[in-house]
Structure 1
Amino acid sequence: MPKRILQGTVVSDKGEKTVVVKVERAYLHPLFKKTIRRSKNYHAHDEKNAHKVGETVRIQECPPKSKLKRWEVVSA
């Protein structure tokens, strides 16, 4: 099964080897036909602590690395 890849913005880099990435998605409401934006935060593994707040990064699914981390940064 292929691994999912999401794109988002780094909102926190305070953890050691961890970044929090906000991923936004837009979809059409089924009844009102209005575009709705939803966002979700993902904890991602950043091995070299290379990414800072505000950067756009791509994250990919991976086996669990800790209690919250199930994603890893693949590129900026």
Structure 2
Amino acid sequence: MPKRILTGTVTSNQNEQTVTVSVERRFRHPVLKKTIRKSKKYRAHDEKNTFNVGDQVRIQECAPKSKTKRWEVITAEA
């Protein structure tokens, strides 16, 4: 089964080898027929501490690296 890949913005890089990525999704409300934005934060593994706050990145599912990290950064979006 393929691993999920999400695109989001780095919101925090204060921890060693970890970044917090905010991923936003949009969908139409089933009753109101209005477009709604929801965001969720993911902790992702950043091996070389290369990403800073505000960077657009792609994250991929991986085996658990710690209690909260189940994602890893694969590339920066241009």
* SS at 2:16 equivalent: coil
Q: Mark the runs of 5 or more structure 1 residues left unpaired by the alignment.
A: none
CA RMSD of aligned residues (A): 0.2
Q: Work out the CA distance in 1 between the residues paired with 2:31 and 2:39.
A: 21
Q: Work out the CA distance in 2 between the residues paired with 1:72 and 1:48.
A: 12
TM-score (structure 2 length as normaliser) = 0.97
Match of 1:41 in 2: 41
- After superposing on structure 2, the runs of 4+ consecutive aligned residues of structure 1 that deviate more than 3 Å are none
Q: Work out the CA distance in 2 between the residues paired with 1:7 and 1:60.
A: 9
Task: Give the drift of 1:3.
Answer: 0.1
Query: Quick one: percent identity of the two aligned structures?
Result: 67
Match of 1:59 in 2: 59
Counterpart code for 2:53: V
* SS at 1:39 equivalent: strand
1:24-43, Cα deviation, whole Å (9 max, x unpaired):
00000000100000000000
Aligned residues: 76
Task: Give the drift of 1:65.
Answer: 0.1
Q: Work out the CA distance in 1 between the residues paired with 2:12 and 2:33.
A: 34
Q: Work out the CA distance in 1 between the residues paired with 2:61 and 2:32.
A: 33
TM-score (structure 1 length as normaliser) = 1.00
Q: Work out the CA distance in 1 between the residues paired with 2:64 and 2:18.
A: 13
